[in-house]
Amino acid sequence: MDLSLIALLGGCLMTAALLYYVILVRREQPISSWGKSGIVTLMFVLVPVLVIALWFQDGAVNRLEQMGFEPYPGFVSCSGIATGLGEKPFWVFTVEGGAEPVLEFYKLAENRKGWMLVSESKSLLLFEREGKSVAVSAVADSVAFMMGQRELNGRGDR
């Protein structure tokens, strides 16, 4: 999970606890009613969004495995907003040891069950299976998995 999101969530929760104590327990009025409503709204919107983002990040490796990709042993954490849901899921992982070993790992068929390698370049691998495609892009210390639908032209070929 992304440490910056965890820190932001911790800060929001501490701020919410402090404001709860100051406004509701001590009954002080350090800010106007507009300020209170803004802070309450922020806490009821920002905290759930952060929790959902962290939950998506926490389950990213499991969802990647369900698709048929073995998790790379050097994955440090999932970063950014890694949905992994819907028709075009995506994941971004930080890795140890650079991008090249990750691409070499996924070139091996046993690490991508049922996915056929159709294209490769220095920083990108493209896999296809059952009308779906997955692009694995690796740059520096980040790896992105992006799934999409294979587009067919009117004749039924790519």
Work out the pLDDT band at 117, boundaries 50, 70, 90: very high
Given this model, what pLDDT does residue 53 score?
A: 81
Given this model, what pLDDT does residue 154 score?
A: 43
Burial of 4 from C-beta contacts in 10 A (0-12 / 13-18 / 19+): exposed
Output the CA angle 48-143-5, nearest 5 degrees. 25
Alpha-carbon torsion 140, 145, 151, 156, what sign?
A: positive
Given this model, what pLDDT does residue 45 score?
A: 85
The CA-atom distances, in angstroms, between 151 and each of 47, 85, 128, 147, 156 are 38, 20, 11, 12, 9
| Average pLDDT over the chain, rounded to an integer | 81
Given this model, what pLDDT does residue 155 score?
A: 43
Work out the pLDDT band at 81, boundaries 50, 70, 90: low
> Do 52 and 69 have their domain in common?
no
Decide if 38 is inside a domain.
yes
Given this model, what pLDDT does residue 82 score?
A: 60
Decide if 107 is inside a domain.
yes
Euclidean distance between CA atoms 46 and 113, whole angstroms: 38
Residue 100 backbone dihedrals phi, psi, to 5 degrees: -60, -45
As for how many domains the chain has, the answer is: 2
> Do 78 and 144 have their domain in common?
yes
Q: What is the average pLDDT across 17-41?
A: 74
Q: Does residue 123 have a pLDDT over 80?
A: yes
Euclidean distance between CA atoms 36 and 118, whole angstroms: 56
Q: Look at residues 11, 30, 57 and tell me which one is the last residue of a structural domain.
A: 57
Q: Does residue 12 have a pLDDT over 80?
A: yes
> Do 11 and 28 have their domain in common?
yes
Domain membership of residue 39 as a residue range: 3-57
Decide if 36 is inside a domain.
yes
Residue 134 is part of a domain; what is its CATH number?
Answer: 3.30.310
Percent of the chain past pLDDT 70, that is, above it, reads 86
- For residue 118, give the DSSP letter: E
Would you list the DSSP string of 81-114? -----SSS-EEEEEESS-SHHHHHHHHSGGGBTT
Decide if 144 is inside a domain.
yes
Decide if 11 is inside a domain.
yes
> Do 136 and 96 have their domain in common?
yes
